[in-house]
Amino acid sequence: MESATIQQRQRARDGSTVQILIGDIEYAIDMTKMPYFDSYLSFQRSSGQDSTQLPTHDEIPFFRVIDKGINDGFRHFFRCMPTRLSDYRLLCETLEFLCVDVLSTRNIRSIMDDFQSGKNDRDERNVKSPARDSAFRLLYLFLLGDFESDVRDSNLAYQATLFVVSHREIFEYRIRQMVREAYEERFDASVNQLHQLDKWPIDPPALVFLEDELAIVIMEVSKCSASFRLADKGPHDAIMQPKLERKDLVISDRGGVVENRHIIHASVVDAAGKLLFAVGDPGRMTLARSAAKPIQALAILETGACDQFGFDDTDLALICASHSSEDRHIARARSMLRKVGAEETDLRCGGHAALSDVVNRAWIKEDFVPTAICNNCSGKHAGMLAGAKALGSDVKDYHMPTHPMQLQVRRIFEELCGPDKDLLLWGLDGCNLPAPACPLFMLGKLYALLAASSDVVGNNPTQNGSDQIRTSYLNRTFQAMSRYPEYVGGEGRFCTELAKTFQGILIGKLGADGCYGLSIRKSKQTQKLGAKGAIGISVKVEDGNITILYAAVMEILEQLQIGTPEMRHALGHFHLPKLYNTVGSLTGHISHLFRVRSA
């Protein structure tokens, strides 16, 4: 059990302060600041509990941070909390539960007055602390407060947020980041308002958390300089200052200590090819890997193979799949081969361990050795065999770059990329087919075209015959992936759960080694982002980590506010995955240190 600090005990000067054991830590609680405990102790006394013993209470979320913030200033919440809005919401709800008077009769206008007085006062020591305290009040108001009218008060909220993000000399990185995130969650900001906020980019520092019984050390590193701030004085009196270049990052920690930093790149593009938003380097040359499958499926459709051999939309979904080798996937791939009149030995992909742990465990128990039909790309290869036959070509070498089927794939990629086709490069994929590489923004455009097809079909009489056919094939591909997501991935897989959850709004496709493509149909949300129609999002994690990739994709959807909060929340285990060790103990978390910025 930890004892109350000397400072805490010194607070116990009158009857309003009492020692309480909360969890394993003894605190000196000022009940005038946390009235909940007055009621709690009164209840204990009335129920006949021994008043001579130290009162105890179950653990309270973030209470160590709450105790410091209430006694030393609300600004300390920003210094000690993770940069996750969900954690701040829980913090605010806990403060409300403890009956803490955070706002102290303040409304958004008086909070703005606090900011202005801080700006005008030149005595920095007296300025920054009250202004930062009120920045937390603003965040609290955004998360839990009541407004007479969200519509009428939204402009005041925007002005307050703009003040915070634009005054870096007063408000540190964490304050600016969390206030902006809370504002965008509460209010429907206009495109112009978002553009104005983006003029003040919130550059994320690298964060290192070191925590023991006496100290919480927060190290903020900005580019090549570092500054340190001790939330509580402790034994950490000398720390080397690393030199780190600022990147757009997702970080993973272990016990609060940053273990890995994953660099994120992304592009958000509309069907006209306009780059709307970006993370990291939107021009990063990226191997699409299996994220190329929807366009490879288009190439197969344009051979006439799907009609010739009677492939239905479930077959088409499997052509686009990186499947889990479940029984239904293998059975469907074999059915496709039968329709084509081909054998498993005709497949030019090899066997490998399944992408599903459940399937792998079953294979191990059965001493099963996977063959080509079990390959996660077997649906695409069956489609390529069908395409080769439809073209009247020899199926033996359908996988070779010079084969008519692969030349068809290459031609379609070049046509869809348009003037930028010279930027296309080609490698060899893991499944033995040619693999396209292009700048991320080009991959984003391809996914935007895929989504746009569903909005264009039957609604664009100006298209000529060949364009209408291609659009109809793209639409069929989008619809197949949307309606049969269980064949695109598998049980519990991200691509499958994403399409199921968003119910026709979007589809997504994984590419190996940290690449992802998203097709998002036209909506009020995409219009709000400044898009002309549908949008495509392409994402690359520099080190290829798939868990981080899914987390980054969900963070981008969160920042762009795609779908409903309920949809995004349903995929929270992908967005903010908790990290466990081999015995199931929680070891750490994922945190997002990037902002989707206007291009």
Lowest mean pLDDT among 97-106, 360-369, 431-440, 446-455: 97-106
pLDDT of residue 15: 57
Dump pLDDT digits (tens) for 280-306. Answer: 999 999 999 999 999 999 999 999 999
Dump pLDDT digits (tens) for 25-68. Answer: 899 999 999 999 988 888 878 777 776 788 999 889 889 999 99
pLDDT of residue 199: 87
Q: Which of 370, 291, 381, 296 is nearest to 327 (CA)?
A: 370
Q: Is the pLDDT of residue 247 over 80?
A: no
pTM of the entire predicted model: 0.64
434-439 sheet: strands from edge to edge? 285-287, 434-439, 425-428
Task: Provide CB contacts within 8 A for 274, sequence distance 6+.
Answer: 531, 532
Q: Which of 432, 396, 436, 425 is nearest to 299 (CA)?
A: 436
* Contact (CB, 8 A) for 488 and 499: yes
Question: What CA–CA distance (Å, rounded) separates 314 from 312?
Answer: 5
User: pLDDT category, 386, cuts 50, 70, 90?
Assistant: very high
pLDDT of residue 126: 54
Q: Which of 400, 519, 510 is nearest to 455 (CA)?
A: 519
pLDDT of residue 188: 84
Residue type, 233: K
Question: What CA–CA distance (Å, rounded) separates 269 from 355?
Answer: 30
Handedness of CA 179, 185, 191, 193 (dihedral sign): negative
- 3-class SS at 92? helix
